[in-house]
Structure formats: C-alpha cells, structure tokens
C-alpha cells in the first residue's frame, strides 16, 4: 500500500530554491520603474526635444508647432494645449505594456504573480487573462499596427538626422546624434518585427505553408527576430530613453554633438 502524501501549498515567497531567483525580478522592477518615471517626466516637459536635425522619439511625429520638424504650423482650436508627447506616447506605450514578453516580466516584478518558478504566490487562485482587467491585454494585436506606423516616422527621423542646415544650405553629414537616432530605429524595428502577434499575422494561423513561399519567408524572418525578442525588448527600451536624453542634453547645451563628417 502506497502512502498518500498531501501537498501543502507554499506561502508567499516560500521556496526550496537556493539561487538568487529574486534578482531578475528586482532588476526588471528597477529598470521599468526608472523608465516610466523618466518617460513621464520627459513627456510633460514640452521642451528641449529637438536639436538641429534631431527629434526626440518621444515627440515623433511632431504634428504642430513652430519647428522645422512640425508638419503644420498651427494646431486646431479644439486641440488642448498640452505636450505633444502626451498624445504620442500612449501608442508605443500600449504596444509595450501589452507585449507578451513584458507581461511575463512585470507580472513577476510588480505583482509577484508568480514571483518566480517554484516560489509561493500571494494569491490562492489564478484566472488567467480571461477576465477584467487582464482580458484587455488582447488589444496588443491592434497596438501592433500603430507600432508599425510609428516605425516609418522614426526611420524618417533617422534619415533627416543626416542632413544638416549650415548657413542656409542643407548638406549630408554624420553626427553622433545621427548614429543615435539610426540605432534607435533599428532596435525598435527589431523589437516590433519580432512581435508574436506579427508572426501570427503573417502566417502563424496556417496549418501548412505549402504553396505559400512568400508567407513562409515572412514567417521565418519574424521567427528569427522573435527568438531574440527579450534582447530586442530591453535594448530598444534602453535606447529609446537614451535617444530622448541625448537630444535633450544637446538642446540644453549640456552635451556637444560631435560631427564625424
């Protein structure tokens, strides 16, 4: 006769793990919190977001204003007089906040759900993302379309960053800021084009790719980027914040933008 062993549910934080399982969660909590604080502060500044041919990604596209980067000189009367970043950032922020990778990261780091593999949770039940508010995470597939559009704007900003206006004439040149904005567009492109939702969109719902070489190639390309989705996610998050800080500090006269060409 085999004895029945009753399993006891672990209390919050209880575990037999001897490694520093809490270290990745602490790092994610610190980095994400710092980025949220900085991005919120930068969005409310409504200043120092452009320097020569450089435009901060937090303020791109700049629709209205007395700036060479603005599409239109005057804003419509019904539009509230607020920082342009407050109208722009909700779209890329929504894409990141609902990202499959980031969900798993901040669920652990901020909600301790779960705090780690084989670590006791603070809740007695799990309902998944089938009820409010977590069911709203499914809007990620729709934010994907906005993220793809914003990549076009950022790529255009990167191209403009190589054209300097000296003495009334525009000419091609390379500054440190040119490389910073170009790197930003590349990293955000790698993160966006490796999205799980995009992989599903280009062919993930098909049972087979026979007779569909274009969709097979697109699926393989997205899958290649998707395998490094975590690295793209963190690198692009850090760099988009650094890009805004670089443009801001140059505009404030704290940093000098070195011209390489």
Q: What is the pLDDT of residue 91?
A: 97
**Residue 259 domain-assigned (yes or no):** no
pTM confidence score: 0.91
**Residue 175 domain-assigned (yes or no):** yes
Segments of the chain scoring below 70 in pLDDT: 1, 5-7, 126, 167, 210
Determine the structural domain holding residue 39 and report its residue range.
22-70+81-119+130-251
Coil, strand, or helix at residue 153?
Answer: helix
Residue 201 DSSP code = I
Q: What is the pLDDT of residue 5?
A: 62
The 10 Å Cβ neighbour count of residue 227 is 11
Q: What is the pLDDT of residue 1?
A: 63
**Residue 236 domain-assigned (yes or no):** yes
**Residue 195 domain-assigned (yes or no):** yes
Domain count, the chain: 1
Q: What is the pLDDT of residue 16?
A: 83
Residue 117 DSSP code = T
**Residue 124 domain-assigned (yes or no):** no
Q: What is the pLDDT of residue 253?
A: 97
Query: What gap in Å lies between CA 99 and CA 197, rounded to an integer?
Result: 9
Q: What is the pLDDT of residue 172?
A: 95
Closest C-alpha among 239, 237, 209 to residue 221: 209
**Residue 8 domain-assigned (yes or no):** no
Q: Are 103 and 109 in contact (CB under 8 A)?
A: no
The residue with tokens 């610190």 is: 30
**Residue 243 domain-assigned (yes or no):** yes
**Residue 212 domain-assigned (yes or no):** yes
- Kindly report the backbone phi and psi dihedral angles of residue 77, in degrees, each rounded to the nearest multiple of 5, phi listed first: -65, -25
Q: Which pair of tokens denotes residue 250?
A: 């140059």
Q: Are 14 and 120 in contact (CB under 8 A)?
A: yes
HSE-CB of 168 using CA atoms within 13 angstroms: 0
């Amino acid at each position: 006769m085999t004895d029945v062993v009753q399993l006891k549910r672990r209390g919050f934080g209880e575990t037999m793990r001897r490694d520093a399982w809490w270290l990745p969660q602490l790092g994610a909590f610190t980095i994400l919190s710092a980025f949220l604080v900085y991005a919120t502060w930068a969005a409310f500044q409504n200043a120092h977001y452009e320097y020569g041919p450089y435009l901060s990604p937090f303020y791109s596209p700049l629709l209205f204003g007395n700036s060479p980067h603005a599409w239109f000189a005057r804003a419509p009367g019904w539009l509230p007089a607020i920082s342009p970043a407050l109208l722009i950032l909700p779209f890329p922020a929504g894409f990141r906040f609902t990202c499959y990778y980031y969900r798993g990261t901040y669920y652990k780091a901020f909600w301790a759900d779960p705090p780690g593999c084989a670590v006791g949770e603070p809740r007695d039940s799990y309902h998944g993302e089938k009820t409010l508010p977590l069911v709203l995470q499914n809007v990620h597939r729709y934010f994907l379309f906005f993220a793809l559009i914003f990549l076009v704007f950022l790529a255009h900003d990167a191209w403009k960053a190589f054209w300097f206006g000296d003495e009334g004439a525009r000419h091609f040149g390379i500054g440190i800021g040119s490389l910073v904005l170009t790197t930003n567009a590349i990293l955000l492109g790698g993160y966006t084009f490796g999205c799980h939702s995009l992989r599903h969109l280009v062919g993930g719902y098909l049972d087979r790719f026979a007779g569909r070489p274009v969709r097979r190639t697109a699926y393989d390309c997205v899958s290649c980027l998707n395998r490094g989705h975590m690295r793209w996610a963190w690198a692009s998050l850090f760099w988009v914040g650094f890009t805004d800080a670089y443009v801001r500090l140059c505009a404030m006269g704290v940093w000098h933008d070195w011209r390489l060409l």
